Structure 1
Amino acid sequence: MLLADKQTYVYDPKSDTWTKKADMPNIRSSSSTAVVDGKIYIFGGFDARTRTSFPTYVYDPKTAPSMPKPIGSGTSAAVIGKKIYVIGGLDYTGDIYKNAKNNYCYDTETETWTKKQNIPVSSLKFATAVVDGKIYAIGGRNDAGSPPTQSHLINGTIYMYDPRTDTWTLKKDMQNLKLEGTSATVLNGKIYIIGGNVSDGQGTTSTQVYNPSDNSIKDFKPLKNARTNASTVTIGNNLYVIGGAKDRNRASPLKSVEMYTLDESTPETPTTPESTPDQSSGDRALLVITMTNGLEKEFDLSMDEVNDFISWYDQKDAGSGSSKYAIDKHDNNKGPFSSRKDYVIFNNILTFEVNEYSSK
C-alpha cells in the first residue's frame, strides 16, 4: 500500500531537533518541492486513493496556480533565480499511467506557468541539481505498462538543461551504477549523488560526485545505511541525508539523519564560469563590490580569484552554497597577521563590477 501524509516538520541542525509545523491542506505522496525566497513550493503528487489535480501550495502559507495538467508521482523540481522548473513524473488519465517528459516553468513573481522543452527521456524518481544556472537531471526510471509496476527500466543518465537556450544535452551515462530514487545536492560547484536503488529495488549506500566542469564522475564516501527516496541538503560544508527507505516499495522507512562534513583543509575546486568573447583580457582585475548600504569594497585579485568569486555568486543566486565568501586581502595585509580575509555576505551585495588589467 502507498502511504501519504500531510504533516510538516522542520529540522534544526544546530540543536539536532525536529519541530512540528502546520499541516498541508491535503494529504500528498510523491510530490516535488522547491524553495524560493524562504517559501516552500509543493507540486503534484497524489493522495494514494485518487489521482486528482492538486493546487500548487506554498508554505507561507498561500496557494498558487495549479500546474497546467495533473502530474502524479516522480517529478523533480529545480530553482534558478525566481523560477521553478518541474520536470518528469507520471501522467494519469483515469487509471491509465503514462510516462511523462514534462518540463514546466513556474515564475514565482508573475505566478504563471510556461511550457518548456521536454526532457529527452521519460523519467520519474530522479534527482535534479543546479550548477552555474543549468539544471542537471540524474538517474531515474522509465516505467512501462499500466500500471507501471509491470516493468522498470532505470535510465542511469545525466542530462543538462540550459534555460537560456531551452535545450537538453546528454552529459554522462552512469554505466557503473544506474540509480532511481537517488537524491542530489551541490557543494563547491560539484554535485553529490547520494543513495537510491538499483534494478532489484533495494536501496544502496553508494554516493558519487559529478563535476560539471570536466564532465567526470567518481565514487565518494558511502552512506552508513542503504537509502532510497531520501532528501539531501547542503548547509555550509555539511551534507545532510534525511529519511528515505531501505527499498523502492518503502516497506522499511528510515527516520535517521546522516551528516558528512567536507574537510575544509582540502577544499574542492569551484566550477569555472563559461568563457565569453570579452572575458580574460588580462590576468588581474579590480573587483568592486557595492553593498546594499552603499558601501563599496575594492579588491585587487588574480582572474582565478575573481572567477572563483563569480562562481560562488552564481551558485548562491541559484539557491545553493555558502551564504558568505572569503576574499584574501593580499597586499592590504597590514599588521602582525599571518593573513587577512574580508567576508562578504551574499544578501548584502547590491552589485559588483570586474575591471581587468594585465600585470605584464
Structure 2
Amino acid sequence: MGENDDRVGEHDSGMSEGEQSSKGRSRRGLLALLAAGTVGAGLGVAALSERFDGEGDSPPGAGTDERSENTSASESDEPSETTGTDEPSATTATTSGLTETDTPTTDTPTTDTPAQTGDTTGAETSAESDTSSENGAATDTETRSETDTESETSTETGASTTATPAESGTETAATDVPPETDAPEGTETPTTTDTETSTGPASQWRSETPLPLAHSDAGGGVVDGRLLYFGGFDSGVDTNAVAQTFTYEPAEAGEGTWTRVEDLPKAVWGPCGVTVENRVYSFGGVSNPAEGENEPTDDIFVYESGEGWRNLTAESGVRCPYPNWAMGGIYDPESRLVYCVGGGTGDTDAETATNHGTGGTTHWSFDEHRLWTFDPEAEEVVDDSLAQLPEAKRWPTVARVVVDGRTKIHALGGVKSTAGSTDSNFRYDPVDDEWEAATPTPIPGHYATTDNPVIDNQLYLSHGLFRENGESLSVDSFRSFCHRYDPVADEFDTSLPDEGTPRVGCVDAVIDGRLYTVAGHVKRYDQQGYHDCMSVSSSFEP
C-alpha cells in the first residue's frame, strides 16, 4: 500500500448576446433576454459534476509508488541476525520525504532486501504494482501524469543499505536504503503500470508519501500527531527482524514527511504497538538471536516524544506474562489500562496455549487465550488472569468502542496458527470481565488494520490475508477489502471503496479522523515462501 489527484471539472460557459430588432425591440427587452441567457449559462455550469479520483499507493520518493508484494507474518518464517551501521549525512530533505541529519551512530541491524518480484494479484483488486530504483539512497524519481490514469514504473536494483539511527531522543536521522539481496531463483522484477483503484465521488482513499524502506509486520502508534513505525522485517525468505524506527508527519494531499528516529532497543518483528496518550508501548515481538532459532520475546519498550525509546524490561524487569508476537492491544482511557489479547506464544506448556489440534510442537504452532492488563503509569502488569478469549488466535484486530455508554473491546478475525483463518468476532466487557460472540467478519482472515482502527466509534478493516472454505494459500489470498463494522448495530458494511493494493502486515493508525495504512507484504508461496515487502502508504477518510 499511482497517486491520483482530486479533480474538479470546470468549464467556462459563453453567452451569446441577442441583437435588437430593427422593428422597435426595446432596450428593456434586450436586457431581459440577456438576463435570461446568463441564468441559463449559470445553470449549465452548476450542473457539471465534480470528479474525485480514487487514490492508491505511491512508491518511495516524493509521492511515487513502490509496489513490492509481501508476506504474511503469521506464517512461521524464521529470521536471522542483522548487523551494520553507517554515519548519517547532513540535514537534507530527500525526494522520498525522509529528513536526514548528522547524528551519532549506534549498532543497527541491516538486512538483505531483494528486488521486488512478481505482479500483485488478488481477488477484487486493481493492478497496482511499482518497483522503485534504490541505488544507495532512499529516494526515487517520480513520474506523474495528470490524467485519469497514472502510470508509474521504476526498477528496483536492490540497493546496499545504510541504516544509522539517531541519538536517543532526537527526531531526525540518517537515510535508510534497503540492502541488496538475491530474489528467489526464477523470479523476475516486473514493470507494471498503476491504474486507478476506483473513480468517482465514492473514492475516499489517497496515496501518502511511501515509507523510505520496504518493510512489513512492524509495530505502530501515534506520538504528537505523527505516526510511529518501528521494527518489522525486510523482503526475503527468512523474516529478519530490524530495529529501525520512523515517524510520519501527515500533510495535505498526502505529501507528508518521514523522519528516521532512534532505533528500537532490540530488533523485533510482530510487536504489539499501543498508543497511550503521547507515548507508544511495544510489547513482545520475534527477535533474531546471534545463534539458534528465532524466538518470541516478552520485552516491553516505550517511546516518548523528545525522549526516544526506553527498555522497561532492562530497567525494572517488567515483562509480558508470556513471550508473544502478533498479539493485539489497546488503551482504555476509562480504566487507564492497556488490554493485551491473544497472539502467538512461546509458552507452549501453558494451559492457556493451544496448537489448535494441528500437532505442531514449536512456538510457531501455539496461540494464547489470555487477556491481560498493563498499567502505563506504574509501568507494571496489573492482571494476567482475566477472562480468556474464547478462541485463541494471532493477528486479531483489537479495538475499543462504546456501546450503550460502556467500553467494549473487540477482537475480530485473525489466524489460528497453521489451522487457518478465522472469522470470529468477540466482544469483551471490562466491567463484567466477560466475552460474548458478535457478528463474524465478512470473510475468514486477518485484516492489515489491527491496531484500534476506530473513527467515530466505527471500525475500519482494510487489506489482509483471507481464506474462504479452507482454500489453500496463494498470492491471491492477499486482498485489499475495506469493511466497516458498526458495533452498536453489530453489522458490517462491505460497500466501501477498495484501495487496490493487496497486502498484509501493515502498520495502521488513526490521525485526525483519517486511517493510515503503511507498508506490508504478500508472500510468494511458489517461490520458497518469499516475503515480498513494500513501502506503499495510503490513507482513508470516511
Deviation at 1:57, TM superposition (A): 0.4
- In 2, Cα distance between equivalents of 1:172 and 1:144: 17
* Deviation string, structure 1 residues 268-320 (Cα, Å, up to 9, x no partner): xxxxxxxxxxxxxxxxxxxxxxxxxxxxxxxxxxxxxxxxxxxxxxxxxxx99
Contact 1:234 1:321 in 2 (8 A): no
Go from structure 1 to structure 2 and tell me whether the alpha carbon gap of 1:47 and 1:322 turns closer, same or farther (over 3 Å shift): closer
1:219–1:91: structure 2 CA closer, same or farther, 3 Å change rule? Answer: same
Change (3 A) 1:141 1:249: farther
SS at match of 1:255: strand
CA distance in 2, matches of 1:191, 1:218: 10
| C-alpha contact (below 8 Å) 1:87/1:103 kept by paired residues | yes
Larger C-alpha radius of gyration, 1 or 2? Answer: 2
Q: Cα–Cα, structure 1 residues 45 and 321, in superposed 2: closer, same or farther, change >3 Å?
A: closer
**Cα gap change, 1:166 to 1:186, in 2 (>3 Å):** same
The match for 1:245 is: 465
Deviations 1:198-255 (A, max 9, x none): 2443211111111112211111111111122531411113211111112597751121
Residue type of the partner of 1:198?
A: K
Inter-CA distance 320–43: structure 2 relative to 1 (3 Å threshold) = closer
Report the Cα offset of residue 118 of structure 1: 1.0
Residue of structure 1 in register with 2:479 after alignment: 254
- Identify the residue that residue 157 of structure 1 maps to in structure 2: 370
Question: In structure 2, how many angstroms separate the alpha carbons of the residues matched to 1:161 and 1:89?
Answer: 17
Select which of 37, 42, 47 maps to 2:224.
37
TM-score (structure 1 length as normaliser):
0.64
Aligned residue in 2 for 1:62: 259
| 1:90 and 2:286 correspond | yes
Distance 1:249 1:128, change over 3 A: farther
187 and 22 in structure 1: CA distance in 2 versus 1, 3 angstrom threshold: same
How far off is 1:119 after superposition?
0.2
- 1:270-349 paired onto structure 2 within 5 Å: none
TM-score by length of 2: 0.44
- 8 Å Cα contact 1:44/1:56 also seen in 2: yes
CA distance in 2, matches of 1:249, 1:144: 27
The answer to whether structure 1 residue 179 and structure 2 residue 380 are counterparts is: no
Q: Distance in 1 between matches of 2:397 and 2:371?
A: 13
How has the CA–CA distance of structure 1 residues 249 and 93 changed in structure 2, closer, same or farther, with 3 Å as cutoff?
A: farther
User: Aligned partners of 1:23 and 1:167: how far apart in 2?
Assistant: 36
Identity across aligned pairs (percent)? 19
- Given candidates 75, 99, 119, the residue that maps to 2:271 is 75
1:249 to 1:160, Cα distance in 2 relative to 1, 3 A: farther
1:102 corresponds to: 299
| Contact 2:387 2:435 (8 Å CA) reproduced | no
Quote the residue 1:166 is aligned against. 379
Q: Structure 1 residues 136, 64: CA separation in 2 closer, same or farther (over 3 Å shift)?
A: same
Change (3 A) 1:211 1:263: closer
2:342 corresponds to: 139
8 Å CA contact 1:182, 1:230 repeated in 2: no
Gaps of 5+ in 2: 1-68, 73-115, 117-129, 132-197, 250-257, 349-360, 490-508, 514-542
Q: Which residue of 1 aligns with 2:330?
A: 129
Aligned residue in 2 for 1:26: 213
Structure 2: which amino acid aligns with 1:86? S
**Higher RCO, 1 or 2 (CA under 8 Å, sep at least 6)?**
2
C-alpha distance in structure 1 between counterparts of 2:267 and 2:389, whole Å: 33
Cα RMSD between the aligned structures?
A: 3.2
Q: Which runs of 4+ in 1 moved over 6 A?
A: 4-7, 319-323
Q: Which residue of 1 aligns with 2:436?
A: 218
State how many pairs are aligned. 261
Deviation larger for 41-50 or 96-105: 41-50
Provide Cα deviations, 1:114-144, integer angstroms capped at 9, x if missing partner: 4241101011111011113211111101258
Structure that is richer in strand per residue: 1
Q: What are the superposed Cα offsets for residues 139-197 of structure 1, whole Å, 9 maximum, x if unpaired?
A: 1012589xx97741111110100122222211435363111111111112211111012
Checking the alignment, whether the CA contact within 8 Å between 1:106 and 1:114 is kept in structure 2 is no
Task: Answer whether contact 2:371 2:389 (CA < 8 A) is retained.
Answer: no
| Distance 1:150-1:156 versus aligned 2 partners, 3 A rule | closer
For residues 53 and 246 of structure 1, what CA distance do their matches in structure 2 show? 26
**Helix, strand or coil at the partner of 2:322:** coil
Question: Is residue 99–residue 144 contact of structure 1 (8 Å, CA) maintained in 2?
Answer: no
Determine if contact 1:89/1:99 at 8 Å carries over to the other structure: yes
- Partner of 2:455 in structure 1? 235
